[in-house]
């Protein structure tokens, strides 16, 4: 098969799948069901292949077979991995929990690292922004810029504090001041959710535009222009 012909078939398949999936917008139908199953199958097959190509082959198989003297212990990972499949055994089903326990332990231990490595620096980043105008930051031609930055920093700190107060459930919030701060936190969260939602809508629209663009230009792609 020539490269041009292969490319044309690839584009044609792309058009068929796109139209097949979009047929659900009209109503539930057999064409959509077919493509849905096809997608699920392809994704499953791809996951198996990616698992081998990207994880097992480079991390396990190659080190083990190229340097068995040093990495002989890796062979024991096969029976260890087989523990997952004891879930199907009536008699020894409990053994599957050993490997799940291992991963629960790993995840728990890593949560210390992620808390310190991901969350805390982010929090520190907002909480340590300058709350006053540094003289050297004031540009003579645009002094408002420095004041606006500081104003934004005050706002960021206020929002951070207020949202955290909103999520503080350790005791009932009866104090009027705490209530008001918590309410402000709720409004700040609504701004954040609105922004996220707006952003998500825009991202999905961009994908839709991409697909429509693909359909419009498919004939050109097939004819090799």
| Chain centre to alpha carbon of residue 31 | 30
Rounded CA gap, 90 and 122, in Å? 47
| Chain centre to alpha carbon of residue 110 | 18
Q: Which of 53, 128, 179, 223 binds another protein (CB under 8 A)?
A: 53
Pick the piece of the chain touching another protein (CB under 8 A) from 11-19, 130-138, 170-178: 11-19
Shortest CB 165 distance to another protein, Å: 9
Rounded CA gap, 38 and 16, in Å? 12
Rounded CA gap, 204 and 120, in Å? 31
Q: Which of 42, 128, 175, 217 binds another protein (CB under 8 A)?
A: 42
SS percent in the chain: helix, strand, coil, step 5: 85, 0, 15
Q: Which of 26, 27, 28, 43 binds another protein (CB under 8 A)?
A: 43
Shortest CB 223 distance to another protein, Å: 17
Q: What's phi and psi for 186, nearest 5 deg? A: -65, -40
The token pair that represents 94 in the structure block: 């409990």
Tell me which residues in 85-144 interact with another protein (CB under 8 A).
85, 87, 91-92, 94-95, 97-99, 101-116, 118-120, 122-123, 125-126, 141-142, 144
Q: Which of 137, 180, 186, 217 binds another protein (CB under 8 A)?
A: 186
Whichever of 84 and 173 has its CB closer to another protein, that residue is 84
Q: How many residues bind another protein (CB under 8 A)?
A: 128
Query: Is residue 194 a contact point for another protein (CB under 8 A)?
Result: yes
**Residue at token pair 């139908």:** 29
Pick the piece of the chain touching another protein (CB under 8 A) from 130-138, 172-180, 182-190: 182-190
Shortest CB 183 distance to another protein, Å: 10
DSSP character at residue 175: -
| Chain centre to alpha carbon of residue 149 | 31
Whichever of 80 and 175 has its CB closer to another protein, that residue is 80
Query: Is residue 213 a contact point for another protein (CB under 8 A)?
Result: no
Q: In this structure, are residues 212 and 1 in contact, taking their beta carbons and an 8 Å threshold?
A: no
Tell me which residues in 61-80 interact with another protein (CB under 8 A).
64-65, 68-69, 72-80
DSSP character at residue 89: -
Shortest CB 177 distance to another protein, Å: 18
Pick the piece of the chain touching another protein (CB under 8 A) from 49-57, 130-138, 174-182: 49-57
Give the Å distances, CA to CA, from 54 to 31, 58, 62: 33, 6, 12
């Amino acid at each position: 098969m020539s490269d041009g012909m292969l490319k044309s078939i690839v584009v044609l398949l792309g058009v068929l799948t796109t139209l097949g999936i979009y047929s659900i917008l009209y109503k539930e139908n057999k064409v959509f069901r077919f493509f849905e199953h096809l997608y699920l199958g392809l994704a499953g097959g791809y996951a198996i292949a990616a698992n081998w190509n990207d994880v097992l082959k480079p991390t396990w198989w190659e080190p083990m077979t190229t340097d068995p003297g040093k990495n002989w212990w890796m062979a024991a990972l096969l029976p260890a991995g087989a523990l997952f499949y004891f879930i199907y055994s009536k008699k020894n089903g409990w053994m599957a929990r050993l490997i799940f326990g291992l991963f629960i332990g790993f995840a728990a231990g890593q949560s210390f690292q992620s808390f310190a490595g991901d969350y805390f620096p982010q929090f520190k980043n907002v909480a340590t922004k300058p709350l006053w105008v540094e003289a050297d930051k004031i540009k003579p031609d645009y002094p408002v810029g420095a004041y606006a930055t500081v104003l934004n920093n005050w706002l960021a700190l206020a929002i951070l504090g207020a949202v955290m107060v909103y999520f503080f459930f350790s005791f009932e919030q009866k104090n009027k001041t705490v209530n008001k701060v918590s309410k402000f936190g709720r409004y700040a969260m609504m701004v954040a959710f609105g922004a996220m939602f707006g952003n998500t809508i825009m991202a999905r629209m961009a994908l839709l535009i991409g697909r429509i663009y693909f359909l419009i230009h498919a004939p050109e792609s097939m004819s090799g222009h």
